[in-house]
A and B are shown apart, each in its own frame.
Chain A
Amino acid sequence: MPAEQRSFEILVAEYRGMVYAYCLGILEDAHLAEDVTQEVFLVAQRRLADFRPGESFGAWLRGIARNEVRESRRAAARRHVVADSDLVAGMEDVYARLDDKSLGDAWVERLAVVRLCIAALPELMRRAMELVYSAGLAVAEAAARAGERADTFQRRLSRAREKVRECVETKLGLEPLP
């Protein structure tokens, strides 16, 4: 196998998890996020010569991911996320910190920050997140499973999301926004 091809495979292995999580946050659809992730790496391989050494490779890949979301017809409903520079800057706040290898060489190690924040949630909040994000239930279905009213469950889920975000911000050393 040519050295260049092998090097690219290594880059894919290193950054695939990050790109997928980034796309999943934007698209909220696992299948679509996986498709876009694949496209990102196909484009990256073609345009590798455009990458300027010294830049963040992760940030470069995320730029490609945003382009792919813009161009994907299936992602039309989520295009506004990548069209808003403030939203993109907010996402980049988090991901730029996660690019830091001091948090761990492997992506899965860096993801530990998020796992710790989920683990720190009160039991009911964690359960709400698991039902929706892990079991893949719709909010109404998850509320029924939890034996709660949908609006109560939705409020708890929203609070859980906020708490995890605040915890991740603290752990990554991000300045709180005014």
Chain B
Amino acid sequence: MSLEAKLPEGAGERRRLGRQIAVDGLVRVALAGSAAAAHRAPARRYRRPNSAWSWKKRLAAVAAGLVSAAAGGLIVLWLHGGAGGLRVESGEVSNGGRAVGTLAAGKHYRAGAQGARLAAPGGGKLSLSGGASFTPTATGLELASGEVIGRKLSRAELRAGPLRAESAGASLALMRLAENGLDEAAVVVFAGRVRADAGGGGVAVAAGQALAVGWGVEPRALAVEDLKAALARQRQALAPPGEAAKYHQITREYAGRLEDFRRQLQSAQAGSPQAGELQSRIESLADCQAAHQRRLAGLDADAAEGARIDRRVDFLDRAMRDGQDNALISAFDPGHPEGGQVWLSMLSR
């Protein structure tokens, strides 16, 4: 857009254009992230450890092995739904501090520190992270905090705060960081398709995509890589890691010097030029210290936001990784020698 050719005649119009130029710059930064994020360090593109193709090949090999092992080439595709009558398959789940083996809809439970794996009567699986807090519902599960991975869930409804995810034979990971007081949640789909609703109408979230609420990005289905890039830009818009520590160090130095000057003031003769000089230095230093402490509050907030962003990125990484691992484990599930699970939807990706 060339402004030169169309600079307005009137001074007021030109001043308005000046405001517009200022706001345009701010919009570009707000949408693109920080100075560094916008260009100098372009967002690192997320690359899965295994490309989609090699993953397909790996699963195909698993499936082929399974076919030859299960004489007759039987491959069973499981589609199970609902969470009513969930039972604890591994790990520990407690209700009011008491360990339970089966779960009832409407009651509140917490997974043990090592996490837990739940099985639905039909065979659907839910893996909960350590300490996850949740309530089974008639058709699924409501996550109060923590993470849950659901595998091949048909007609199941998972909720996490403002986020609702309806699965139709999909495999997904859901997280909610309720402990930080913010209403944030996210769903990652690694097989099949999920209908998600974040309060603004339902959207389809396909395999390899995620939808996040309260993460500072538009709540719509985004490729996991794109969501991670947006988080990386947010991260770079914050004060650099270590900045808060630097300020803490500086304020400590100020405190030390202030104490030193005050000691000197006590031993100086009252009303002497030396005492006046010391008093002036103390006041000036105290002002600086106060200014740095005010700045520290912002830096500490940045550090906390940085930690939240790291946790979100970690969740996305883990969800994609665990989704793949679980698929492999399922294919070789020794508990089901009749054929185990093969996720055909992943094979066809």
Interface residues of A (CB under 8 A from B): 6, 10, 13-14, 16-17, 20-26, 28, 30-31, 33-34, 37, 77, 80-81, 84, 86-95, 98, 101, 104-106, 108-109, 111, 114-115, 118, 126, 129-130, 133-134, 136, 161-162, 164-165, 168-169, 174, 177-178
Contacts and interface: CB of A to CB of B under 8 A. Distances in A.
B302 A106 contact: yes
Query: Interface residues of A: mostly helix, strand, loop or mixed?
Result: helix
Interface of B: 1-4, 7, 11-12, 14-32, 34-36, 38-40, 218, 237-240, 243, 247, 250, 294-295, 297-299, 301-302
A86 to B, nearest CB: 4
Given A13-B240, A118-B30, A88 B18 contact: yes
Contacts of B25: 21-26
Contacts of B39: 30-31, 34
A90 B15 contact: yes
A26 B24 CA distance: 9
Contacts of B20: 90, 161-162, 165
B3 A81 contact: yes
A165 B301 CA distance: 28
Contact of B15 (A31, A37, A87, A101): A87
A134 B39 CA distance: 11
9 cross-chain pairs, A with B, having the tightest CB-CB distances, nearest first:
A90-B18, A25-B25, A105-B298, A20-B35, A86-B14, A94-B22, A106-B298, A87-B18, A30-B39
A28 B1 contact: yes
B240 A114 contact: no
Contact of A161 (B11, B27, B31): B27
A129 B35 CA distance: 18
Query: Interface residues of B: mostly helix, strand, loop or mixed?
Result: helix
B12 to A, nearest CB: 5
Given A87-B7, A111-B26, 11 more contacts: A6-B250, A13-B239, A17-B29, A21-B26, A26-B21, A31-B39, A86-B11, A89-B15, A105-B295, A105-B297, A133-B28
Given A20-B35, A86-B15, A134-B31, A161 B3 contact: no
A4 B21 CA distance: 34
A75 B306 CA distance: 35
B26 A81 contact: no
Contact of B19 (A80, A101, A169): A169
Contacts of B35: 16-17, 20-21, 33-34, 37
A13 B243 contact: yes
A21 B28 contact: yes
Given A13-B239, A86-B11, A106 B38 contact: no
Nearest to B21: A25
A118 B2 CA distance: 23
B29 A111 contact: yes
Nearest to B297: A105
B292 to A, nearest CB: 8
A115 B30 CA distance: 6
B299 A20 contact: no
For B11, B21, B237, the residue with the greatest tally of chain A CB atoms inside 10 Å of its CB is B21
A177 B30 contact: no
A24 B19 contact: no
15 contacts: A10-B250, A13-B239, A13-B243, A16-B35, A17-B237, A28-B1, A34-B35, A84-B14, A86-B11, A90-B22, A104-B298, A111-B29, A134-B31, A168-B23, A169-B19
B27 A89 contact: no
Given A105-B295, A106-B298, A133-B28, A161 B15 contact: no
A89 B21 CA distance: 11
B31 A130 contact: yes
A36 to B, nearest CB: 11
A14 B298 CA distance: 11
A37 B40 CA distance: 12
A75 to B, nearest CB: 13
